[in-house]
Structure 1
Amino acid sequence: MIKFKRLDHVQICIPTGQEDKARRFYTDIIGLTEIPKPEALIANGGLWYRIADIQLHIGTEDNISKSKRHPAFEVENLEAIKKYLITHNVNIKEEIRIPGQQRFSFMDPFDNRIELLEKEKPEGTRETAKE
């Protein structure tokens, strides 16, 4: 079984090249705080925002039939979950590596994309037993 920890982010999409219009709405009108995208993803366009204790990712796309829209859930034991899904004939898509986390996505039977991620523990830290 998958142990979900929390919703990490939600991604919505805008047409390619419309970041300034999105920034005027989400920053200037809605009042969200823009946060930097990981270096590896900047070339894809779009914007990221902090919203409460999660993130709102605004991606760019022109082909709505293959939308990037998705929720991303933080989980525990990502590799075991990946093996579990594969044994149930779920096709896994490896995602572009970004610092501080491992991640992959998959499509449900209705072509909804779901991303699962696990945060990496900072070097020098270790798990301690809970009392």
Structure 2
Amino acid sequence: MKIDVTRLHHVQVCIPTGKESEARDFYTGILGFEEIEKPDALKKNGGLWYRVGDVELHIGTEPETENSKRHPAFQISQLDEVREYLQQNQIKIKEEIQVPGMKRFSFFDPFNNRIEFLEIAS
């Protein structure tokens, strides 16, 4: 199956828990990136979101000892079919918190790198 990737949707980097103010000083103050509001369902996780050109930069928070949330997210078409295809190939799917306007899930490559696929609702 050929997976139809339509664009890179976002990249997530991480900062230590509680360091949003310092991150905002850098990403907004120094780099001049446009901060955008996170969906309500994800605000409890902390962090910041930015629009950078036509891609989003998500800055998550995590303890330094936890598995990282860092990942690329690819917007694709036919999300349900792609999920089924990955499962048929014994790829474990990680369910994600759903946010309005999109469906999404993550999976891990053989080297434990997290990759997110999402589809924007039409």
TM bucket (normalised to shorter chain) is over 0.9
Q: TM-score, normalised by structure 2?
A: 0.97
1:63 offset after TM fit, Å? Answer: 4.0
Task: State whether structure 2 residue 15 is matched by structure 1 residue 14.
Answer: yes
Identify unmatched segments of 5+ residues in structure 2. none
Task: State whether structure 2 residue 41 is matched by structure 1 residue 40.
Answer: yes
2:83 and 2:65 map into 1 onto residues whose CA distance is 27
Describe the shift of the 1:74–1:32 C-alpha distance in structure 2 as closer, same or farther (beyond 3 A).
same
In our comparison, the structure showing a higher alpha carbon Rg is: 1
2:44 is paired with a residue whose SS is helix
Report the AA paired with residue 83 of structure 1. Answer: E
Identify unmatched segments of 5+ residues in structure 1. 122-131
For residue 76 of structure 2, what is the aligned residue in structure 1? 75
Deviant stretches of 4+, over 4 Å? none
Report the AA paired with residue 27 of structure 2. Answer: Y
1:64 and 1:37 map into 2 onto residues whose CA distance is 24
1:12-48 deviations in Å (ceiling 9; x for gaps)? 0000000000000000000001000000000000000
RMSD over aligned Cα atoms: 0.8
| More strand by percentage | 2
Trace 1:1-131 onto structure 2 (pairs within 5 A). 1-64=2-65, 66-121=67-122
1:25 is paired with a residue whose SS is helix
